[in-house]
Structures are given as C-alpha cells and as structure tokens.
C-alpha cells in the first residue's frame, strides 16, 4: 500500500520516466537547501530513485542548473565508460528525464522537481571518523575535478553569481549590518569585529586570480564530506550534490572539504571546546587529493590550497551570520539561534586553523613533494 507521502508525491513522480511503480516515498538526507525524498519502486531489482524539490529561491535559474548537472554527469559517465568501468551508474549521478524529455518538472504551484537514480548501498558521514575515509574523500573530490579539467569552465553556467567570491560575500554582509532587518546587530558585535579584522588577509585567492596566477576550473563548490558517498568498505564511490558545480578555483573545494574533515565536531557544534583540529585527517585528505589531482594542478594552485582552508570557514561564518542578521531567510534552521550557533562554531574553527597555519602549509608541501 502506498504510504502518505507516496499519495502526496505520486502525481509529481508520474511525470517522470521512472521504471516500475513508486510504492513508498519518504524524506531522505539532511541538506540545508533542497527537500529530498527517497522513492522505492515495486521492482525487486531496482532501481529506486531520489526525488528533489529544488529550492528556487536559492537557484533562480533551474534550467541552467539542470543543464550544468546534465553536462557534468554525462561527461563523467563517458569517461567512466571509456575506462571500462562496469558500474558507471553507481559512480555518478544519473538525472531521470520527464516523460517529455525535460530535466525537471514545474508544478502549478511553481515548485521545481527533479529525479535521480538512487545510488544504493552507500553511506555518507557528517563527521569523518577514520584516516581511510578522509583519504577517500580527497581521492573523490580530486578525481571529480580531474575528470572535469578538460571541459571549458565557461561552458558551465554560474548558477549563483559570485557564490564563493569573498568580496561579494563581504558586501552582502555589510548590507545586512546596515539594514539590520532582524535587529540582531548589537548581539553579534564581537563576531562582526572578528570578520572585519580579517578582511584583507582573506583576499589571497582573489588576488592570485586577478594576477592570472591560478586558472579558473570547474569546481564542485560544496565539498562537505557528506557529499561523498562511500561504499560498504568505506571506498569513495560517488560525489553528489552537484547544484553548485560552477567555475571556481581548486582551493575553494579543498578548503571547504577540509572545513568539515579537519573539524572533530559538527559544523554547528554548540560546545565550542569540542571544536579541535584533527591533523592526521588533514594529511590523509591531502594525500588522497594530490594522488588524483596532482597531474593537472599548477604549482601555484597547490600553493593556494591552505589559503582555501583559511578562507572557506571564514566565508561560511560570514554566510551564516549574514543569514542570522537577515532573519534566517536562506539556510534551513532547527531553532531560532541556529545560524548564530553555526557562526560561532565556524569562528572557532577559523581560530584553530589560524593557530596551525604554518603546520598545514608544511604538510601540503611535503605531500606535494612526492610528485616532484
């Protein structure tokens, strides 16, 4: 018997060219942006599917978003097939078209929907537990960038303009302070000061780019560790959440992955003293990343990696605080001060990373020397 969610979502699922009949639809995953459901079909051998309502407040041009995803997924799938990979479908997302051949469906309430084939027998982790997981995460994102390194970054739409551009994030932040929509500025003076004290230092990557020292690449731009699916043996299987695949700099992906991997606590940890750096996990991620990416990286890109490690938690802090100041309009929250709690956790992480900056730079140099 179909469950309640199935009854609610079946009319939408019916627009898509899935195999079999959807019998069970349940909420799935823990994303901050889209709503995700798992669809089980009546077919014993599968496949099952993932239904998503795309947040079109965040992704204003869904057509461009889906074109990017199709381009990237097809490109990777062809490469996997060319490498004689038997399980290409298990190693890259496969969007399922509608019965009209479109990549998404817009309902009468202006909700945008899409479906992917569900990649079974995998798991993801919010917090990295082992050296092997960290190394596999590095391999997964390095390989992802490597496979896209022969595509022209300008063939990919910038679905959220200036998404990881720190100058633009700082402008939005100042704007939020000036508007003070939720009357919260007084409560966060020390966090505002912390951000302002570091503005100049955090320009390194943009400065390198302005001097053409690092090239624009196609990057994932949301490399939280839980966006890598690992198999039963904890081997990386597939990189997911491709919404923010856009032109970017490799240090952004490295920095954002390290933001979640090096932190021994959750992104929104309330007990700040639990936020400690796990250096062996940093080393393992770096090893895995360079193993798969060293062949296409320029020396200046390798040099920029730790600048990304400093920048991404700082930028995430700014984004959470901006949302808090605006009255929580962007990220899903689970309690009224959630964005503030996230801000403080990211701030503590920046402090910890700053204390260890030289060590992190030495470790990247050491790992990169293996390939000289």
DSSP string, 7-49: HHHHHHHTTB--SS-EEEEEE----SSSEEEEEEES-TT---E
At its nearest, how many Å lie between ligand A2G and the CB of residue 240?
11
Nearest residue (CB) to ligand A2G, 33 versus 284: 33
At its nearest, how many Å lie between ligand A2G and the CB of residue 58?
5
Contact 314, 350 (CB under 8 A): yes
Q: How is residue 98 annotated by DSSP?
A: B
At its nearest, how many Å lie between ligand A2G and the CB of residue 24?
26
Structure tokens at 178: 């000036």
Nearest residue (CB) to ligand A2G, 222 versus 328: 222
DSSP string, 191-252: HHHHHHHTTTGGGHHHHHHHTTSS--EEE-S---GGGEEE-TTS-EEEE---TT-EEE-HHH
Nearest residue (CB) to ligand A2G, 66 versus 297: 66
Contacts of 362 (CB under 8 A, 6+ apart): none
Q: Smallest Cα–Cα separation from 144: which of 241, 279, 61, 263?
A: 241
Nearest residue (CB) to ligand A2G, 77 versus 224: 224
Q: How many CA atoms lie within 13 A of 90 on its CB side?
A: 13
Structure tokens at 371: 């390939």
Nearest residue (CB) to ligand A2G, 243 versus 269: 243
At its nearest, how many Å lie between ligand A2G and the CB of residue 299?
28
- Nearest residue to the partner ligand A2G, using Cβ: 32
Instruction: Compute φ and ψ for 164, nearest 5 degrees.
Output: -115, 30
Nearest residue (CB) to ligand A2G, 267 versus 307: 267
Q: In 10 A of CB 346, how many CB atoms? A: 27
Contact 104, 54 (CB under 8 A): yes
The site for ligand A2G (CB under 6 A) is made up of 32-33, 58, 222, 224, 243-244, 267, 316, 319
At its nearest, how many Å lie between ligand A2G and the CB of residue 325?
16
At its nearest, how many Å lie between ligand A2G and the CB of residue 319?
6
At its nearest, how many Å lie between ligand A2G and the CB of residue 271?
19
Nearest residue (CB) to ligand A2G, 6 versus 33: 33
């Amino acid at each position: 018997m179909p469950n309640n969610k199935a009854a609610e979502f079946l009319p939408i699922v019916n627009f898509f060219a899935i195999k079999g009949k959807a019998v069970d639809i349940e909420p799935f995953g823990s994303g901050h942006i889209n709503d995700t459901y798992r669809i089980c079909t009546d077919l014993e051998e599968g496949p099952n599917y993932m239904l998503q309502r795309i947040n079109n407040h965040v992704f204003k041009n869904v057509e461009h978003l889906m074109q990017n995803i199709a381009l990237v997924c097809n490109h990777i799938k062809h490469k996997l097939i060319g490498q004689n990979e038997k399980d290409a479908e298990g190693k890259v997302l496969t969007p399922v078209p509608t019965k009209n051949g479109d990549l998404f469906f817009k309902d009468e309430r202006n909700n945008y929907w899409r479906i992917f084939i569900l990649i079974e027998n995998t798991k993801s982790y919010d917090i990295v537990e082992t050296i092997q997981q960290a190394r596999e995460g590095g391999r997964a994102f390095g390989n992802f960038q490597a496979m896209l390194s022969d595509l022209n970054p300008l063939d990919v739409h910038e679905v959220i303009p200036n998404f990881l551009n720190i100058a633009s994030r700082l402008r939005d932040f100042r704007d939020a302070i000036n508007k003070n929509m939720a009357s919260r500025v007084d409560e966060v003076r020390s966090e505002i000061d912390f951000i302002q004290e570091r503005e100049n230092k955090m320009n390194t990557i943009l400065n390198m780019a302005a001097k053409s020292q690092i090239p624009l690449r196609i990057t994932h731009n949301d490399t939280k560790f839980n966006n890598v699916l690992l198999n039963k043996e904890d081997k990386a299987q597939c990189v997911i959440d491709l919404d923010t695949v856009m032109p970017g700099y490799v240090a952004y992906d490295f920095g954002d992955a390290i933001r979640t991997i090096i932190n021994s606590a959750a992104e929104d940890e309330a007990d700040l003293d639990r936020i400690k750096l796990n250096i062996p996990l940093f080393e393992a991620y770096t090893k895995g990343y360079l193993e798969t990416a060293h062949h296409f990286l320029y020396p200046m890109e390798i040099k920029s990696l730790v600048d990304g490690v400093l920048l991404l938690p700082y930028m995430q802090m700014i984004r959470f605080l901006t949302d808090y100041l605006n009255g929580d309009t962007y990220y899903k929250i689970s309690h009224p001060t959630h964005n503030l709690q996230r801000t403080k956790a990211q701030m503590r992480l920046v402090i910890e990373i700053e204390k260890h900056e030289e060590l992190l730079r030495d470790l990247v140099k050491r790992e990169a020397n293996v390939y000289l």
